[in-house]
A = this chain, B = another copy of it.
């Protein structure tokens, strides 16, 4: 990391953690030079970078100010209270409608679950596939049965090592994307009728998996800044025979929340005391904007209770359908379930990804990808500040590509969803992220697609639609 990038990151952290609140004047270049012992040129470059990231704004002859752009602060959304009872999950078809919209190239893809396809290194991946095709070994088909291609698992092991959370390569099980890994983990530790703790709001696939497996959900509130409420979790463990937790610890979908490392450590300690397994969904972990990959909860796992699931679907290509799990003590059960349900992940794609990870400059690609996503986050937040109603609250995640936007209570995100679709804009309405279809006043926006005039106009349209709804509500 270059000097100016390190300085920008330090300042960005001060902005994100509130030490430098929105609207305050940033220290002058002169002060910054003195305080951090850098050259004026480095200080300038750091400020340019912060501006590019949408974190600060220059005002003529007056220096830099912490964004919102018009002086407006965009406060983070609020956490919701925990639900007191466990509920049988019942997810509507809305999720499928939202997924279906992601397929339509003509729509503005603010509702998509994936970053824009143009962000992935297709040419290089194509080369890896071609090589895999040339070197296809007949015996791969049996060799790569679970736990999966040995070279690929070795490469995944190396990434754990690099992130400071080493895992035994022998344990790693390759799956059809993280979604299968998560489902297998859930099956490995539950029986129909069991109670599972999930996040609220949370990833709809968790709700669907619970519904499918006849499990009961206890929803634990997620603070849109630092994730799952541990007090609420501990209370829930006291009240319900919780058999597993399924949490997204970093760049949470949909809120963007990340648990700080000490909170992750506390989470694992709490679960270890009660011997409750944790299914850790960490598919966005590599998309951090900070100076290093935050440690996952798995890094603090002493008892093999954490099943750490991830994939290449958000960083290289969703279509390869290659994920994995570092399964802790549940490896054998998960391997057997994998054999029983889909046998193995695709062999040619495993071989191609193994080749790419060895020779394809994955880290360079990731640095570029993170930079683009962070820049687009700033651009979208700026546009939201300009166009959305005054009372709106917005998350500002340290990574990933989702913003969680909260309107005033009484706002109808489903109505906005329908009105936006009619204007050619897909969004993800809040109700798809909870068992009780709460979060009616929230939406999730994907900023991982091209930021251009069309996207900016789409934010303006959303803002106008939202304002119109507020006005109509006020009249009633």
Contact = CB atoms under 8 A, between A and B. Distances in A.
Interface of A: 96, 99, 102-103, 105, 112, 114, 116-118, 120, 122, 125-130, 132-136, 138-145, 176-177, 179-180, 183, 187, 191-192, 205, 208-209, 212, 214, 317-322, 336-337, 339-349, 352
A105 B114 CA distance: 40
A148 to B, nearest CB: 11
Nearest to A102: B142
Interface-centre pick from A99, A114, A142 (highest chain B CB count, 10 A): A142
Nearest to A345: B321
B340 A321 contact: no
Contact of A96 (B96, B120, B125, B336): B336
B145 A134 contact: no
A180 B205 CA distance: 18
Contacts of A317: 141, 347
12 contacts: A116-B138, A118-B138, A125-B133, A126-B135, A183-B340, A212-B337, A212-B340, A320-B346, A321-B345, A346-B348, A346-B349, A348-B348
Nearest to A212: B340
Contacts of A177: 342-343
The 8 tightest CB contacts between A and B, nearest first, are A319-B347, A117-B138, A129-B133, A141-B319, A126-B133, A130-B130, A346-B346, A130-B133
Contacts of A191: 214
B145 A122 contact: no
Given A117-B141, A129-B133, A133-B133, 12 more contacts: A96-B336, A112-B142, A127-B133, A141-B318, A176-B176, A179-B343, A191-B214, A208-B340, A319-B348, A321-B344, A321-B347, A342-B342
Interface of A is mostly: helix
Nearest to A204: B340
A140 B125 CA distance: 14
A356 to B, nearest CB: 11
Given A143-B103, A319-B144, A129 B348 contact: yes
A147 to B, nearest CB: 11
Contacts of A132: 129, 133
B139 A117 contact: yes
Contacts of A135: 126
A319 B126 contact: no
Contacts of A133: 125-130, 132-133, 352
Nearest to A321: B346
A99 B349 CA distance: 22
B130 A134 contact: yes
Nearest to A143: B103
Contacts of A129: 129-130, 132-133, 136, 348
A341 B138 contact: no
Nearest to A214: B192
A318 B103 CA distance: 29
Contact of A136 (B102, B126, B341): B126
A138 B114 contact: no
Contacts of A342: 176-177, 179-180, 183, 321, 342
Interface-centre pick from A99, A125, A127, A136 (highest chain B CB count, 10 A): A136
Given A192-B192, A321-B343, A321-B344, A134 B126 contact: yes
Contacts of A145: 99, 102-103
A105 B112 CA distance: 45
A180 B176 CA distance: 11
A138 B120 contact: yes
A316 to B, nearest CB: 10
A177 B128 CA distance: 23
A128 to B, nearest CB: 7
Contacts of A116: 138
B142 A103 contact: yes
